[in-house]
């Protein structure tokens, strides 16, 4: 049935970590034209291609799991969409898969990051009862905020450690606040997975 809903999962590697969310959005609009994918336009006075992104990605963070939803005004297979997009994307963005979305992207509640650093990095600052940082507010300005409740978990792994942080719309924690607490500002970071909540509020895989 048209328009056909599509979700793509894509990666952003290498120099793409320096490109802002807004610029990725602009890039995707031209990519759709180059890929000859007839994206469904919004109705109204100023029609434009409707692209809905999952989470914003901080500058300096790579990703293996970005999400974008759109609709297509033509019969196409998901494989065809994947192939066409990959031919039109910059080298350091790749579509991993395209599929029919079941759940809205707003269900994303947690994300996992892998932080590349010395394996004996001291993580004890994260064990404190309260972790107060000066956090930027949605409305602008900064406010001292306890980020402890937004750090779901962390565990050591080969080459560093992983972090699972809250990513719900009302409590989105950027990884750089946690890295700042640990004094790891120059580390390489990759977003590796995203989760939704199960019935008891614990992360389970999002798709």
Could you tell me the two tokens for 57? 């990605």
- The percent of the chain in helix, strand and coil, each rounded to the nearest 5, is 25, 40, 40
Q: Binding mask 34-63 vs other proteins (x if CB under 8 A, - otherwise)?
A: x-x----x-----x-----------xx---
Least separation in angstroms between CB 204 and other proteins:
33
3-state SS assignment for residue 27? helix
Least separation in angstroms between CB 149 and other proteins:
28
Q: Which is nearer to other proteins, 66 or 152 (CB)?
A: 66
Least separation in angstroms between CB 9 and other proteins:
20
> Does residue 33 touch other proteins according to CB under 8 A?
yes
Contacts of 164 (CB under 8 A, 6+ apart): 110, 111, 112, 113, 151, 152, 153, 154, 195, 203
Four-CA torsion 200, 123, 14, 25, nearest 10 degrees? 40
The sign of the dihedral angle between the CA atoms of 163, 167, 171, 177 is positive
Q: Which is nearer to other proteins, 6 or 93 (CB)?
A: 93
Q: Which stretch binds other proteins (CB under 8 A): 82-90, 107-115, 129-137, 140-148?
A: 82-90
Q: Which residues pair with 188 in a beta bridge?
A: 116
Q: Which stretch binds other proteins (CB under 8 A): 135-143, 150-158, 165-173, 185-193?
A: 185-193
Check if the beta carbon of residue 197 is closer than 8 Å to that of residue 108: no
> Interface residues for other proteins in 92-121 (CB under 8 A)?
92
Whether omega before 3 lies within 30 degrees of 0, making that bond cis, reads yes
Q: Which is nearer to other proteins, 31 or 173 (CB)?
A: 31
Check if the beta carbon of residue 131 is closer than 8 Å to that of residue 181: yes
Q: Which of 2, 29, 143, 159 binds other proteins (CB under 8 A)?
A: 29
Q: Which is nearer to other proteins, 56 or 101 (CB)?
A: 56
Q: Which is nearer to other proteins, 191 or 196 (CB)?
A: 191
Q: How many residues bind other proteins (CB under 8 A)?
A: 30
Q: Please report, as ranges, the residues that interact with other proteins according to CB under 8 A.
A: 14-20, 23-24, 26-27, 29-34, 36, 41, 47, 59-60, 88-92, 185-186, 188
């Amino acid at each position: 049935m048209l328009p056909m809903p599509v979700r793509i999962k894509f990666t952003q590697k290498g120099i793409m970590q320096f490109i802002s969310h807004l610029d990725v959005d602009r890039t995707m609009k031209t990519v759709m034209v180059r890929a000859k994918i007839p994206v469904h336009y919004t109705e109204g006075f100023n029609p434009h291609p409707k692209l809905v992104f999952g989470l914003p990605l901080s500058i300096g963070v790579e990703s293996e799991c970005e999400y974008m939803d759109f609709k297509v005004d033509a019969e196409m297979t998901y494989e065809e969409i994947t192939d066409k997009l990959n031919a039109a994307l910059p080298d350091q963005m790749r579509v991993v898969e395209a599929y029919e979305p079941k759940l809205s992207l707003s269900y994303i509640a947690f994300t996992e990051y892998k932080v590349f650093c010395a394996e004996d990095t001291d993580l004890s600052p994260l064990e404190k009862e309260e972790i107060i940082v000066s956090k930027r507010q949605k409305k602008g300005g900064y406010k001292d905020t306890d980020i402890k409740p937004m750090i779901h978990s962390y565990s050591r792994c080969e080459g560093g450690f992983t972090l699972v942080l809250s990513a719900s719309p009302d409590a989105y924690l950027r990884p750089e606040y946690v890295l700042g607490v640990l004094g790891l500002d120059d580390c390489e970071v990759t977003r590796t997975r995203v989760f939704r909540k199960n019935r008891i509020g614990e992360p389970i895989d999002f798709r």
